[in-house]
Amino acid sequence: MHMNKTSVADLAVFGGLPAFAETLHVGRPNIGHQERFLSRVGDLLERRWLTNNGPFVKELEAKIASLLGVKHCICMCNGTVALEIATRALELRGEVIIPSFTFVATAHALQWQEITPVFCDVDSQTHNIDPRKVEALITPRTTGIIGVHTWGRGCDALALTEIARRRGLRLMFDASHAFACSYQGRSVGSFGDAEVFSFHATKFFNTFEGGAVVTNDDRLAERARLMKNFGFAGLDNVIYIGTNGKMSEVSAAMGLTNLESLDEFIAINRRNHGRYRLGLEGLPGISLIGYEESERANFQYVIVEVEDTVSGISRDELVRILHAENVRARRYFHPGCHRMEPYRSYFPHAGLLLPETERLTTRVMSLPNGTAVGESDIQVICDLIRFVIENAEAIRSRMA
Ligand X SMILES: *Cc1c(COP(=O)(O)O)cnc(C)c1O
Contact positions toward ligand X, by CB under 6 A?
A: 78-80, 102-103, 105-106, 148, 174, 176-177, 198, 200, 211
CB-nearer residue toward ligand X: 285 or 336: 336
CB-nearer residue toward ligand X: 79 or 368: 79
Phi, psi of 66 (to 5 degrees): -70, -40
CB-nearer residue toward ligand X: 102 or 269: 102
Angstrom distance (rounded) from CA 1 to CA 6: 13
SS3 146: strand
Report whether 378 contacts 6 (CB < 8 A).
no
Report whether 332 contacts 366 (CB < 8 A).
yes
Report the nearest approach of ligand X to the CB of residue 335 (Å). Answer: 16
Q: What is each CA distance from 74 to 148, 225, 232, in whole angstroms?
A: 19, 7, 15
CB-nearer residue toward ligand X: 176 or 190: 176
Q: Give just the sign of the alpha carbon dihedral 242, 244, 246, 247.
A: negative
CB-nearer residue toward ligand X: 79 or 279: 79
Phi, psi of 7 (to 5 degrees): -65, -30
Report the nearest approach of ligand X to the CB of residue 313 (Å). Answer: 27
Element spanning 187, H or E: strand 186-187
With CB atoms as reference, the residue minimizing the distance to ligand X is: 79
Q: What is each CA distance from 371 to 32, 36, 264, 368, 375, in whole angstroms?
A: 10, 18, 9, 10, 11
Report whether 151 contacts 303 (CB < 8 A).
yes
Angstrom distance (rounded) from CA 68 to CA 210: 17
CB-nearer residue toward ligand X: 176 or 258: 176
Count the neighbouring beta carbons within 10 Å of the beta carbon of residue 4. Answer: 10
Report the nearest approach of ligand X to the CB of residue 166 (Å). Answer: 26
Report the nearest approach of ligand X to the CB of residue 272 (Å). Answer: 19
Report the nearest approach of ligand X to the CB of residue 102 (Å). Answer: 5
CB-nearer residue toward ligand X: 144 or 279: 144
Report the nearest approach of ligand X to the CB of residue 106 (Å). Answer: 5
Report the nearest approach of ligand X to the CB of residue 297 (Å). Answer: 16
Q: Can you name the residues that pair with 331 across neighbouring β-strands?
A: 365
